[in-house]
A and B are shown apart, each in its own frame.
Chain A
Amino acid sequence: MRGPEPTIYEISSPGRRGFTLPELDVPEAEIPAEFVRDRLLLPEVAEVDVVRHFVRLSQKNFGVDIGFYPLGSCTMKYNPKVNEVAARLPGFTKIHPLQDPELVQGAMQLMYELQQYLAEITGFAATSLQPAAGAHGELTGILMMRKVIHEGRGEPHRTKVLVPDSAHGTNPATTTMSGLQVVEIPSDKRGNVDLNELKKHLDDTVLGFMLTNPNTLGLFDENLLELTRLVHEAGGLMYGDGANLNALLGIAKPGELGFDVMHINLHKTFSTPHGGGGPGSGPVVCTEELAPYLPGPIVDAEEHDDHVHYVWKMPERTIGRVKAFWGNFGVMIKAYTYIRMLGEEGLRAVAENAVLNANYLQTLIKDVYPVPYGFRTCMHEFVAQGKIEGAPDVHALDIAKRLIDYGFHPPTMYFPLIVPEALMIEPTETESKQTLDAFADAMKKIAEEARTHPELLKTAPHEAPVRRLDEVRAARHPKLKDVPGMED
């Protein structure tokens, strides 16, 4: 499908309609004229126009169902179809969040059991399912840490959050949003947090440490136990960014490794689809000490003689609610379905195969591209560099765009920031050896092309719905809407 798709406004025709509604079956009431708008600039299209327009647009989009999507730190695993069926059951979609709890016991049971499963899988005492995404979970967790230390422990002078230089941008952004200050801690030569640097900052102004483990280099911190001990000794708390939990399912429980609070990305680890940018779900799990601070309400179970009764409960010292209602329930159903289908052994197999696939691909790739930490065993992902000997003008960007022509979604580019020309590759457990081999072959061919026909890379992609897009122009002259009759 080459060629631009017109916008929905461009296919609009005055008077055309694509809806039906019931006739008015009660007397009309007067709507005072002062309330009534003089125009509403929505398009006028028929149902077939809408369907063809959006189906054609969908054909200009790459998803996991089309092919390999090794986007590092995003865990683009296959999204099981049973999840979609489950989430669309009318008893789940057609219930109002404020219905009397007596009328939604099934939904509350699902939430309660999911709270229990997530706590069990991660080794924590309690769960809140309310946060809507990973960054939302981070905000939740850091606000909890702030409150437990400032109010629970009476140490309001602790306002610094230590964040490694390999961290996702959400970590420092969350810290600022929580009214706290970020201190960046460098990594050492093996890709771990540099403990000597860490020690320089561990004083009584430290609120805690935010660590993604395995980190964004795909490495399990070799000094993790020492690190969590040092932070705790200094009076701080450990925040776990669960973005990379896929590597640890059934392998280790973060709650046993010294973390105090952590968010989980259901849309990464637990197979719920990412929806082209969302919705996600970012439940937060924590220790006994932090449990009273969780946002809520959460679901509690009351045992009766012949049944369990589910009720809403606000944790006693809660930071407050972080959104309206209870969380992204539709996403929770999918994660619940996944956990129930996999069980203990299935979840452990996920981590084992994710790590096996990543190490296999790392082995194949490191013959051709530099892998700065390739001397170590990686976990679920690894970081290569888009540097090709004999092709000095070719960059990670060019390699990424050329991969599109080979039918692959590019890896995460230029992140983590500490690796120049980074290509962060996460294959996940749902890819076969054949797919990994084909991807490695493409990477090798691209390296060859870079030396012989660099322009093929510089002008890539050639096989996508559009050629390389002018992002500078988009930012310099922002055009953020196109509504006939309105100024830009």
Chain B
Amino acid sequence: MVYIPNTDAEREEMLRTIGVERIADLFHDVPEPYRNPRLNLPQPLSEAEILAELRDMSEANADLDHVAIFLGAGSYHHFVPSVVDMVISRSEFYTAYTPYQPEVSQGVLQSLFEYQSMICALTEMDVANSSHYDGATATAEAVIMALNVHRRKRKRVVMSPTVHPMYRQTVYTYTQGMNLTIVGEDAPRHDLQALADLIDDDTCCVIVQNPDFLGRMFTPQEMQALADAAHAHKALFVVVIDPISLGFMVPPGRYDADIVVGEGQSLGSLPQFGGPYLGIFAFKKEYVRKSSGRLVGETVDAEGKRGYVITLSTREQHIRREKATSNICTNEALVAIAAAVYMASMGKEGLRRVAELSYHKAHYAAKRIAEIEGFEVLSSWPFFKEFVVKCPAPVQEINDYLIEEWGIIGGYDLSQDYPDLENAMLLCVTEMNDREEIDALISAFQEIAGGALESSVKFYLPT
């Protein structure tokens, strides 16, 4: 039997030691009528057979080695240096559990401490935890932390309409038992003053994204003004970030953010169909005892040597039970280690360069698209690596044409989340898109402008 080392003879010996005849005797507490049910599963396969099947399944997907991609919307194709996978393939790391026994877990603990340190450096925040599940759940946990800072007495959340739609949905799911009022999603997009006007003395936090879901960058002055408006009512200022943008952008710690959250996938992980990802979670130190998630701290051992431990656990579920700040236990430690390796490898020069390359290429693409008749770049605002294009046809039709004729995965259909943005596509360009790919996208759009959609024959299945 695969992965079970004991032989029949050894099992016999063990049963004798226990004092029972058969393994079945060990299951007498399981109600008899329900014991040993049939499992209707496929016949077991050998390693060679399953790998062949999985290879076929994986090849049924259009992967980024074979198509160009201009799709972002919360998952990004940035370069991952080879060292990252090499490090997280060390089975000392990946086959370990949560570091409850620090003396034999210094590798994971120090790596996570360095992850926390580098996230603090990136965001210029005081403290970062060692991860939440992803950007969406980190945002929801930020709301809960803000509620706890206000001892659950405040019941209102102001949330910008250009926070990632899936993050907003996750906030609703997490807080459905908490009787909250969530406002702001009907406010005009990109209007921080309109959000500021919604903050009152019952507001526990205001959440904005920068760059926002549509790619817009807000200036530190604009963000500071909203922070001031929040703080005037003692509400917490929560900022959702893209860590890559902080390669050159002024970090939220410089405009008085109280909690900073974001999706850390871009820091060393491939898109891998949406997970595992990495919830970045950083905050001001005065809130540390209200914070959720694991924290790794530095200390010394019995000989005075430096070492690391999980600390401030009295906030956590295994100590505080129903009074814990969150129920989180397992987090995304290995993805955080990947991010640490990525940030160390890229360093301050590399991360800045990734951000700049993405910015320049996105602006080149936008400029070229704006020249095409029938296409309009709606991003009249400063943007980072994503921008909005109004197309001459529904986004689905455009995307079908792009993949069929050009092998290009087009942008995100914004009408799903913003009904007034009909035929509007959110395009994303990173350092992984070379000029040839961008020019191909331009050519494809030119063909569409020339009426190519009308003449193309669709062979796709109905959806």
Contacts and interface: CB of A to CB of B under 8 A. Distances in A.
Given A330-B275, A432-B6, A96 B248 contact: no
Interface in A124-163: 132-136, 138-139, 143, 146-147
Contact of B64 (A43, A96, A252, A339): A96
Contacts of B113: 7, 480-482
B353 to A, nearest CB: 5
B3 A69 contact: no
A100 B343 CA distance: 31
Contacts of B65: 90, 94
Contacts of B42: 340, 343
B114 A7 contact: yes
A426 B345 CA distance: 39
Contacts of A418: none
Contact of B41 (A47, A58, A344, A412): A344
Nearest to B364: A26
Contacts of A235: none
Contacts of A346: 1-2, 44
B104 A355 contact: no
A404 B4 contact: no
A277 B331 contact: yes
Interface string B43-70: 1111100110111111111111101010
B312 interface: yes
A486 B121 contact: yes
Contacts of B249: 35-37
Contacts of B233: none
A134 to B, nearest CB: 6
B419 interface: no
Contacts of A392: none
A29 B360 contact: yes
Contacts of B83: 18, 47, 50-51
A413 B101 CA distance: 10
Contact of B321 (A76, A94, A173, A340): A173
A92 B41 contact: no
B247 A40 contact: yes
A110 B57 contact: yes
Interface stretch (B72-80, B200-208, B370-378): B72-80
B105 interface: yes
Nearest to A347: B39
Interface string A290-329: 0000010000000010000101000000011111111111
B323 to A, nearest CB: 7
Contact of A363 (B18, B67, B179): B18
A122 B248 CA distance: 50
Nearest to B5: A432
Nearest to B245: A35
A369 interface: no
A45 interface: yes
Interface footprint category on A: 35 or more
A93 B61 CA distance: 10
B347 A43 contact: yes
B350 A19 contact: yes
Contacts of B435: 25-26
B317 A473 contact: no
Interface string A431-447: 11100000000000000
Interface in B293-350: 294-303, 305-309, 311-314, 316-324, 326-335, 337, 340-341, 343-350
B40 to A, nearest CB: 6
Interface stretch (B123-131, B187-195, B444-452): B123-131
Contacts of B340: 8
Contacts of A244: none
B31 A257 contact: yes
Contacts of B36: 250-251, 348
A187 B118 CA distance: 46
Contacts of B380: none
A287 interface: no
A198 to B, nearest CB: 18
A194 interface: no
Given A61-B106, A346-B44, A433-B13, A136 B137 contact: yes
B309 A95 contact: no
Contacts of A172: 317, 321-322, 324
A91 B58 contact: yes
A275 to B, nearest CB: 3
Nearest to B384: A35
B133 A333 contact: no
Contact of B272 (A103, A330, A400, A409): A330
Interface in B130-151: 130-131, 133-137, 144
B356 interface: yes
A478 B312 contact: yes
B276 interface: yes
B86 A352 contact: no
B305 A4 contact: yes
A343 B3 CA distance: 13
Interface string A23-55: 011111101101111001111110100110111
Interface string A244-277: 0000101111001100000000010001011111
B103 A404 contact: yes
Interface stretch (A176-184, A383-391, A449-457): A176-184
Given A340-B44, A340-B50, A356 B297 contact: no
Contacts of B320: 169, 173
Interface in A349-376: 349-350, 352-353, 355-357, 359-360, 363-364, 376
B57 A106 contact: yes
A107 interface: yes
A169 B321 contact: yes
B122 interface: yes
A488 to B, nearest CB: 8
B295 A17 contact: no
A172 B14 CA distance: 38
Contacts of A135: 317, 327-330
A68 interface: no
Given A253-B34, A324-B74, A103 B62 contact: yes
Interface string B106-123: 111011111011101110
Given A61-B108, A330-B272, A469 B307 contact: yes
Given A278-B276, A363-B18, A459-B302, A93 B54 contact: no
Given A85-B51, A93-B272, A103-B409, A9 B117 contact: yes
Contact of A478 (B219, B294, B297, B409): B297
Contacts of A482: 113, 117, 298
Contact of B81 (A4, A19, A66, A469): A19
B103 A466 contact: yes
A433 B412 CA distance: 55
A365 B449 CA distance: 77
A84 interface: yes
B41 A120 contact: yes
Contacts of B135: 324
B178 interface: yes
B363 interface: yes
A89 B250 CA distance: 37
B318 to A, nearest CB: 4
Among A24, A95, A248, A461, the most chain B Cβ lie within 10 Å of the Cβ of: A95
A104 interface: yes
Contacts of A8: 114, 118, 340, 344
Contact of B94 (A59, A168, A273): A273
Given A40-B351, A54-B90, A323-B166, 9 more contacts: A17-B349, A26-B360, A61-B96, A63-B96, A100-B400, A110-B54, A143-B176, A466-B106, A469-B309
17 contacts: A41-B121, A80-B3, A92-B61, A94-B63, A175-B322, A177-B144, A182-B322, A277-B130, A279-B276, A321-B173, A325-B275, A330-B273, A333-B54, A356-B11, A357-B14, A468-B302, A481-B128
10 nearest A-B residue pairs (beta carbon): A179-B177, A91-B58, A325-B274, A61-B107, A106-B60, A97-B274, A277-B333, A275-B334, A343-B44, A279-B276
